[in-house]
Amino acid sequence: IPVTTQGSQQTQPPQKHYGITSPISLAAPKETDCVLTQKLIETLKPFGVFEEEEELQRRILILGKLNNLVKEWIREISESKNLPQSVIENVGGKIFTFGSYRLGVHTKGADIDALCVAPRHVDRSDFFTSFYDKLKLQEEVKDLRAVEEAFVPVIKLCFDGIEIDILFARLALQTIPEDLDLRDDSLLKNLDIRCIRSLNGCRVTDEILHLVPNIDNFRLTLRAIKLWAKRHNIYSNILGFLGGVSWAMLVARTCQLYPNAIASTLVHKFFLVFSKWEWPNPVLLKQPEECNLNLPVWDPRVNPSDRYHLMPIITPAYPQQNSTYNVSVSTRMVMVEEFKQGLAITDEILLSKAEWSKLFEAPNFFQKYKYLVEMPWYVVGLVESKIRILVGSLEKNEFITLAHVNPQSFPAPKENPDKEEFRTMWVIGLVFKKTENSENLSVDLTYDIQSFTDTVYRQAINSKMFEVDMKIAAMHVKRKQLHQLLPNHVLQKKKKHSTEGVKLTALNDSSLDLSMDSDNSMSVPSPTSATKTSPLNSSGSSQGNSPAPAVTAASVTNIQATEVSVPQVNSSESSGGTSSESIPQTATQPAISPPPKPTVSRVVSSTRNAATSGNAATKIPTPIVGVKRTSSPHKEESPKKTKTEEKTSSTDLSDIPALPANPIPVIKNSIKLRLNR
C-alpha cells in the first residue's frame, strides 16, 4: 500500500480547488505523519481490510468474463431484432462497477455491485429473460435469482465464488462506446426512472473519485474509517446509521479540506471536523447543479420534508439525494459521541500516547447500556428495515433520551429444540432522562412496541410473506440473564467504553424484577415461557385468557429498580481535541433546525388489544394514571423514502386490515419500567 506524499506540490503552480469551500490547511505531510501512516497500515492488515493481489486479479478476470457475456448477449438481441450488420458489429454494451469495489476499498470476500449498460433497442424485459437464461447456462454461476419487482431491480448471483449484484440501465444511444462516461448528465434524458435509479450508484461513485485530491490517501483513510464504524456498531444505513456511500462522502469532504494530508492526518481530521459539525447543515462535495430534467432533488428550500432530515449528506451526482434519510435523533447522538471519542483517541495517537489499535477496539454494547430490550423474530429482512420505526417511536417517549439498536444480530434461543427454526435476536439499549421531583416514575413501552409489531405483521401479510409460525416478541433483560441469550464471546469482560456525555450510574442487577405474560389464541409460546433458555423471575399477574381465537391482550410488566439514577444526556458536551480550527459549514444551505416534539399528552394504558373477532370479551386492566407521552397515539412516523431506497412494498399499510380472516398468533408484550429514586 503506497504512502503518498505531496510535499512537492507546494513548489508547483496553485493546485486545483476541491469542494465548496476553501481548504482548511495546505500543509504537506511531515516525516512523523508518514511513520504514523505506515503504522496504521500495519494495524489494519490483521482485520482483513486489504485483499491479496491474487484475489484482486481473480475479481478482474470474473468481471472480464461477465463483460464478454454482456457483449455477446447484446449482439444476439440485436440480430434477433434485425438491426443492420454495421450496427451489430459496433453495438457494444458494458459492465460498470460501483460501491466499495469501484471505490477500491472492498474487503476480503466482499461482493461486487455491477451495472449492465445496454443500447436503446435492448429492453429491461430482455435483461430479466434472455440474459438471465444465458447466465443460468454458465457453469461458474450459482445461486442465480432475479428480483424484478424491487425498487431498484436486480439480478443476484455467485460467479465462481464471488457474489455479484447486477443492475440494468438502457441508454438512449444506438451503441455503447467503450469510453462512455456515466457522469454525463445528458445521458439521463428520456430515461425510464428505474434506469435512472440504476445509474445513480455508478454516477455517485465516479463523482466521489473525481472530487478528492488524492485517491490513494482517500482510499486508505476510508478503509480505516469504515473499519472503525463497523467495530463501533454504527455502520448500517437500514438501522439509521450511515452506509458505505455516506462514510465515503464524509471522508471525501475531509480530503477536500486537507488536500495535501496523508491517511494518518486525515483520520484525525475526520474526527475533528465531524465532532464539531453543526448538524443539520448538509455535507456537500460540490455545488448542486440543475439539469432541467424535472427529477426530484434534495432541497429544503423547496421540499418541506427535507427540512426534517437530521444529518444530511448529499450525493454529488444529479439528481442529488440525501443518503442519510434514515438517521434519527438517537442514531445521530450515538454517532456524534463516537466522533468525539475518536477525536480523543487520535489526539493521543498523534502525541504517541496510544497506538492505532486503540481506535479499533470494539466497545462492549452490553456494558455500555444498563437498560436492554431484547427482541427475537423470524422474518429478518422484513423486520430489520422497520426497526428504525420502533426507535423513532421510543424517542418520542418523554422519559427516553436515546434508543440505540445494536446493528449486530444474534441467533435467538430455540423455543422447540426438536424443531428446525430460524430465529434472529436484536438488542436495543435505552438511556432515560434525569427527572426531578419524582421519587417513583413509571415508564410504559407497551404502545411503542405494539405499534411496531402491528406494522411488521401488516407488512408481512401485504407482501405475502406471512406464515403461521412467524412472531415477534420483546422483553427486558438483566445483565445476569444475557449469558442465557447471547454467545459467550459477545459477553467477554472488556474495558468499559465510557461515552462522553452518556454516563450511566451502576445498577444493582439483583434489584430488578421482571414479569411478562403474553396472551394468544393458538398457544404460541413467548420467549419467556421457555424457561430452559430464559428463566426469568415473575412478579406480575396474568390478566386472564380470552376465549376468542383472534383476541390478543397484554399484561403489565413491572421492573422494580431501587435507587436508580439516570443522568440526562448532554449532547452539547464535547471531548478532547487539541486543534482550534474552525470547520466551514455549507454556506449555500440554511441551517434547518429539527421541529419541536409534539406537546400533546396522553395517558398510556397498560394494555392494548390487537384485534377482536366474534363475541370476544377481553379483560382490560385499569390504566396507569399519570404516565404521559409527548407523541400522538394515532401516527407512526417513518423516514421519507427517497429514490435510492430499496422498496419492499408500495401499498399503504394503513389500508390493510389489522388481521386476516384466519386467526394469527400475535404475541403482545407489555413492558413497563418503574424507576424508584
What count of residues does the chain have? 677
CATH of the domain at 87: 3.30.460.10
Q: Is residue 107 part of an annotated ligand binding site?
A: yes
Assigned domain for 567 exists: no
Q: In sequence order, what are the beta bridge partners of 499?
A: 502
Assigned domain for 462 exists: yes
- Does 65 share its domain with 204? yes
- Does 396 share its domain with 330? no
- Does 246 share its domain with 342? yes
- Does 139 share its domain with 113? yes
Q: Is residue 165 part of an annotated ligand binding site?
A: yes
Backbone angles phi, psi at 337, to 5 degrees: -65, -35
Q: What is the pLDDT of residue 577?
A: 41
- Does 42 share its domain with 59? no
Which residue, of 208, 230, 263, is where some domain finishes? 208
Cα separation values, 546 from 550, 621, 661, Å = 9, 13, 18
Assigned domain for 180 exists: yes
Q: Is residue 454 part of an annotated ligand binding site?
A: no
Do 607 and 620 contact (CB within 8 A), yes or no? yes
Cα separation values, 254 from 43, 244, 318, Å = 22, 16, 22
| Active-site residue list | 100, 111, 113, 165, 226, 235
Assigned domain for 433 exists: yes
Residue 433: exposure state from Cβ atoms within 10 A (0-12, 13-18, ≥19): middle
**Segment 647-666, tens digit of pLDDT:** 333 333 333 334 333 433 44
- Does 223 share its domain with 307? yes
Tell whether pTM > 0.95: no
In 552-591, beta strands by DSSP E: 558-562
- Does 79 share its domain with 22? no
Cα separation values, 40 from 225, 322, 350, 358, Å = 11, 31, 12, 11
Do 352 and 457 contact (CB within 8 A), yes or no? no
**Segment 322-351, tens digit of pLDDT:** 999 999 999 999 999 999 999 999 999 999
Cis bond before residue 319 (omega within 30° of 0): yes
- Does 204 share its domain with 75? yes
Do 518 and 503 contact (CB within 8 A), yes or no? no
Assigned domain for 5 exists: no
Q: What is the pLDDT of residue 438?
A: 62
Residue % of the chain over a pLDDT of 90:
45
Please give the full DSSP string across 175-220, using - where no structure is assigned. Answer: SB-TT--TT-GGGGTT--HHHHHHHHHHHHHHHHHHSSS-HHHHHH
Residue 11 banded pLDDT, cuts 50, 70, 90: very low
- Does 55 share its domain with 204? yes
How many beta carbons lie within 10 A of that of residue 225, not counting itself?
26
Q: What is the pLDDT of residue 416?
A: 65
How many Å separate Cα 259 from the centre of its chain?
29
Q: Is residue 244 part of an annotated ligand binding site?
A: yes
Q: Is residue 366 part of an annotated ligand binding site?
A: no
Rounded Cα gap, residues 589 and 587, in angstroms: 6
The whole domain housing 328 covers 18-47+211-363
**Segment 522-545, tens digit of pLDDT:** 322 233 333 333 333 333 333 333
Assigned domain for 613 exists: no
Assigned domain for 513 exists: no
Rounded Cα gap, residues 524 and 512, in angstroms: 27
- Does 327 share its domain with 451? no
Do 111 and 162 contact (CB within 8 A), yes or no? yes
CATH of the domain at 387: 3.30.70.590
How many domains does the chain divide into?
A: 3
CATH of the domain at 266: 1.10.1410.10
Assigned domain for 638 exists: no
**Segment 163-173, tens digit of pLDDT:** 999 999 999 99
Which residue type does 418 have? D
Q: Is residue 245 part of an annotated ligand binding site?
A: yes
Residue 444 banded pLDDT, cuts 50, 70, 90: confident
Q: What is the pLDDT of residue 150?
A: 85
Which residue, of 325, 345, 363, is where some domain finishes? 363
Return the closest-CA partner of residue 335 out of 106, 571, 576, 645. Answer: 571
Question: Between 133 and 11, whose confidence is greater?
Answer: 133
Backbone angles phi, psi at 168, to 5 degrees: -130, 140
31-41: buried (b, 16+ CB within 10 Å) or exposed (e) per residue?
eebbebbeebb
Rounded Cα gap, residues 193 and 158, in angstroms: 27
- Does 268 share its domain with 155? no
- Does 395 share its domain with 468? yes
Q: Is residue 235 part of an annotated ligand binding site?
A: yes
Which residue, of 208, 233, 266, is where some domain finishes? 208
Rounded Cα gap, residues 172 and 185, in angstroms: 12
Poorest-pLDDT segment among 385-399, 450-464, 556-570 = 556-570
Question: Between 88 and 511, whose confidence is greater?
Answer: 88
Residue 429 banded pLDDT, cuts 50, 70, 90: confident
Residue 350: exposure state from Cβ atoms within 10 A (0-12, 13-18, ≥19): middle
How many beta carbons lie within 10 A of that of residue 478, not counting itself?
19
Whether residue 432 is predicted with pLDDT greater than 50 in this model: the reply is yes
Return the closest-CA partner of residue 34 out of 6, 5, 8, 10. Answer: 5
Whether residue 625 is predicted with pLDDT greater than 90 in this model: the reply is no
Q: Is residue 93 part of an annotated ligand binding site?
A: no
How many beta carbons lie within 10 A of that of residue 322, not counting itself?
24
Residue 564: exposure state from Cβ atoms within 10 A (0-12, 13-18, ≥19): buried
Q: Note every long-range contact of 503-508, with CB atoms under 8 Å and residues 24 or more positions apart, other chains counting.
A: 503/567, 504/368, 504/369, 504/370, 504/431, 504/566, 504/567, 505/564, 505/565, 505/566, 505/567, 507/370, 507/561, 507/564, 508/562
